Amino acid sequence: MAPTALTIPPSFSHIKMVASDLDGTLIVGKNFNGGKMTDRTVNALQALENRGIPIAMASGRPPRSMVPLVNQAGLKHPYIISCNGGIVLDSVTKEVIRKYSIDTEAVRELIKQVKAHFGPDDILIGGESGTSFRCEEAYAQKRWDWVGKVYNRVDDLYHLADENNSIEKLMILHREWPADELFYYLQNNVLTDPKWKNMIHYTFSSPYFVEVSAVGVCKATALKDLVGKLNVKPSELIAFGDMPNDCEMLEFADTGVAMGNAHQSVKDIADLITADNDKDGVAVVLEQVNEQLFSNR
């Protein structure tokens, strides 16, 4: 379906659940640690939750940096999907209740192959492990403003994932290249063996690194489990996003909405395109959802 700009409001009277990305979607601000939800967005989310519409927030962020942003919405029972679907948190305790971990041997083989291709010093490796972050020291030094003191140093990357430490999201960082350049290079020159499609899923959502999940795992994977538990059909779901790691989620939902500031690949698969995140693009749509649901009750 070709995406449609929101000039004439579509029908939203069937919507029973909302799912949304955070950065570049609900969150305004380019500073990773300083982004905010606007009052208009918060009000739109709360209005729907107060009418019984579940709200899920799905992000590539790990739990430790996602929870403070989710809390900005002031929701009573938000559903929290982090690490691109690799980790699901309890909305009240904020503890991990489900993990979709990458196979340990897949982690080891992937690290070995990319390090061998680029050289050990050009590619840096880190990984989200439950609520912890594990990485080689060079990764921490390169991303110090983000990693800071919250990491567990791993001197031998063979043990990044082992019997005691699962990896839910692996980050591959090139010292010089942005994430999109690295992603397409990996796709076309490194991970060309068909076996990788049965071992990992990879994408990008930030300018810095490629993000790797378990095979078949993405935001849509965790969302599919969640809607099943809530007795919501995909045809009753609306989802918002702006980056390639949102594509599967938008395709899974009946109504996939791309932000005006979205990556072109997201706009290409979306059903609708709303305003930019700094123009309250999510709230623009959710206010229409709320109005239509209210008028039909």
Digit-coded pLDDT (tens) for 106-123:
999 999 999 999 999 999
For 197, the token pair is 């499609």
For 160, the token pair is 């990044």
Q: How confident is the model at residue 257 (pLDDT cuts 50, 70, 90)?
A: very high
* Mean pLDDT along residues 181-209: 95
CATH-assigned architecture of domain 4-100+218-295: 3-Layer(aba) Sandwich (3.40)
Q: How confident is the model at residue 266 (pLDDT cuts 50, 70, 90)?
A: very high
- Residues spanned by CATH 3.30.1240.10 within the chain? 104-214
Burial class (CB in 10 A: 0-12, 13-18, 19+), 79: buried
Compute the distance between CA of residue 144 and CA of residue 3 in angstroms, rounded to an integer. 39
Per-residue pLDDT for 20 more than 80?
yes
Task: Give the model's pLDDT for residue 144.
Answer: 80
Q: How confident is the model at residue 3 (pLDDT cuts 50, 70, 90)?
A: low
Per-residue pLDDT for 296 more than 80?
no
Compute the distance between CA of residue 33 and CA of residue 74 in angstroms, rounded to an integer. 18
Compute the distance between CA of residue 173 and CA of residue 62 in angstroms, rounded to an integer. 16
- Residues spanned by CATH 3.40.50.1000 within the chain? 4-100+218-295
Task: Answer for the pair 20, 282: CB distance below 8 angstroms, yes or no.
Answer: yes
Task: Give the model's pLDDT for residue 1.
Answer: 42
Query: What SS3 state is found at 79?
Result: strand
* Mean pLDDT along residues 191-200: 96
Per-residue pLDDT for 163 more than 70?
yes
Check the CA dihedral 247-249-255-261 and report its sign.
negative
pTM: 0.86
Task: Give the model's pLDDT for residue 71.
Answer: 93
* Residue 21 CB partners (closer than 8 Å, separation 6+): 57, 58, 59, 219, 240, 241, 242, 243, 245, 246, 249
Task: Give the model's pLDDT for residue 147.
Answer: 72
Compute the distance between CA of residue 233 and CA of residue 18 in angstroms, rounded to an integer. 12
Task: Give the model's pLDDT for residue 2.
Answer: 46
Compute the distance between CA of residue 55 and CA of residue 48 in angstroms, rounded to an integer. 8
Query: What SS3 state is found at 53?
Result: coil
* Mean pLDDT along residues 259-279: 96
Which one-letter DSSP state was computed for residue 250?
H
CATH topology of domain 104-214: 3.30.1240
CA dihedral 209, 213, 219, 224 (to 10 degrees): 170
Q: State pLDDT tens for residues 223-251.
A: 999 999 999 999 999 999 999 999 999 99
In 10 A of CB 133, how many CB atoms?
22
Place of tokens 């989310």: 45
Per-residue pLDDT for 149 more than 90?
no
Compute the distance between CA of residue 249 and CA of residue 270 in angstroms, rounded to an integer. 10
Q: How confident is the model at residue 37 (pLDDT cuts 50, 70, 90)?
A: very high
